[in-house]
Amino acid sequence: MRYRWPGEYRSAVVLSFDFDAESGFLFREPEKAKRSLADLEERRFGPRVGVDRILRLLDRLRLRATFFIPGWTVEHHLPESTRIRDAGHEIGAHGNVHEAVAFLDRPAEEKIMREQLAILEGALGVKPAGYRSPSWDVNVWTPDILKAHGFLYDSSLMGNDVPYELETSAGPLVEVPVQWLLDDAPLFRHVYGATNAIADPGRVLQMWQKEFDAMHAEHGCFVLTCHPFISGRASRIALLEELVGHMRRVPGVWFTTCEEVARWHATNERRS
């Protein structure tokens, strides 16, 4: 077997949600964010509607998911962040104001790391096991910073489709890999000037099912990344429900969280 999962499992599935709200827009376009109510409201759909719709979906499906939340979002949308925590889902770090770290030098990145951890701990009592970089942007020194701050894993890179390890000066850091194909943003987000049109949920369902079927055959780790302000829309919640229904008809799938995948990888002999 290419990768050994626990017990009789042949592949793993993680539903992950990056609860950005307005944070990414505030970091990338701070001047526009002072006047564009339109852009702010598009993103406020996440905390106002999307998060609770996703929580109801996960409750119906009896699934635990992983939510990555920037510090700014925890502070400004504390009731929603608290409901995510109280529903028993994993919470991981996701920057402070969704800073793309390509714009940061190492001291700035370390300062922001300390700030986001202080907010997660102070506001939610959460010490996260995992980190997902905003916009999946990672510097060569980022794994060292994560290891130094006690993280078990990162989930921002595309170097494999099963868990793997990043070397740091203090030992290995587990990577729970992502990929563009399994991200809702390039498929569903409307961006003026972009070449892609908004995708038909039926086509996305078919694409994600095909990717799941093929990854299951390859004993892969299917990590889906969705955003409440994008996938909280009604037809996309229905799509996620259909997708999980499809995956549940296949025997041997471990529905789990990023943290459980990382703990499995860190503590077990995976390869036969």
Q: Where do contacts with Zn ion occur on this chain (CB under 5 A)?
A: 18, 20
Q: Which is nearer to Zn ion, 54 or 162 (CB)?
A: 54
Tell me how far, at minimum, the Cβ of 195 lies from Zn ion, in Å: 22
Q: Which is nearer to Zn ion, 20 or 259 (CB)?
A: 20
d(CA 181, CA 185): 10
Tell me how far, at minimum, the Cβ of 18 lies from Zn ion, in Å: 4
98, 229 contact by CB (below 8 A): no
Tell me how far, at minimum, the Cβ of 49 lies from Zn ion, in Å: 18
SS3 label, residue 49: helix
Q: Which is nearer to Zn ion, 96 or 256 (CB)?
A: 96
Q: Which 3-state string (H, E, C) describes 152-178?
A: CEECCCCCCCCCEEECCCCCCEEECCC
The backbone torsions φ and ψ at residue 230, rounded to the nearest 5 degrees and listed phi first, read: -105, -55
Q: Which is nearer to Zn ion, 74 or 162 (CB)?
A: 74
Tell me how far, at minimum, the Cβ of 44 lies from Zn ion, in Å: 15
Q: Which is nearer to Zn ion, 67 or 212 (CB)?
A: 67
Q: Which is nearer to Zn ion, 73 or 256 (CB)?
A: 73
CB contact burial 128-163 (16+ within 10 A = b; e otherwise): bbbbbbbbbebeeebbbbbbeeebbbbbbbeeebbb
Tell me how far, at minimum, the Cβ of 132 lies from Zn ion, in Å: 7
Q: Which 3-state string (H, E, C) describes 105-136?
A: CHHHHHHHHHHHHHHHHHHHCCCCCEECCHHH
d(CA 155, CA 257): 11
Tell me how far, at minimum, the Cβ of 189 lies from Zn ion, in Å: 12
